[in-house]
Amino acid sequence: MKIYSNKPPEKQDAANKAQKSGKADQAAGQGSVQKISPIDKVDLSGKAKGMAEMTSAISQMPEIRTEKVEAIGKSVNDGTYEIDPEKVASKMINEMI
C-alpha cells in the first residue's frame, strides 16, 4: 500500500507561516487568505485488495454453522458420537508447543 500526500507543516512552521502571511495580507490591504487543499491518493496492492475481499467474505459468513452443530448434537443424543483419542491428544500437544 502506498500513500501519497502533502505533508502538513509542523506546528511551529505553520504558526510562523500564518503570521508572515497575515502581515503580508494586512500590508497589501487584503483580508482574505487563499486556501490550498492538498490532494491525497492511496494505491492498494493486489494483496491488500485480496485481503479486503476475504475480510468482507468472512464477515458475511454465519458465526455458528447450525447444520454441523445439529448433526453433532444428534449423534451425541443417539450415542453414536465417537471421539478419536489420538487426534485429541495430538491437538493438545500441538497447542502446548
On whether the CB atoms of residues 51 and 16 are closer than 8 A, the answer is no
**Does the pLDDT at position 94 exceed 90?**
yes
Same domain, 75 and 57: no
- Provide φ and ψ at 86, rounded to 5°: -65, -40
**For residue 41, what pLDDT band results from cuts at 50, 70 and 90?**
confident
76 and 46, same structural domain?
Answer: no
Boundaries of domain holding 82: 64-97
DSSP state of 29: T
- pLDDT for 97 beyond 80: yes
The pLDDT assigned to 72 comes to: 94
* pLDDT score of 4: 59
> Average pLDDT, stretch 10-21?
56
Mean pLDDT for 30-44 is 69
SS3 category, 12: helix
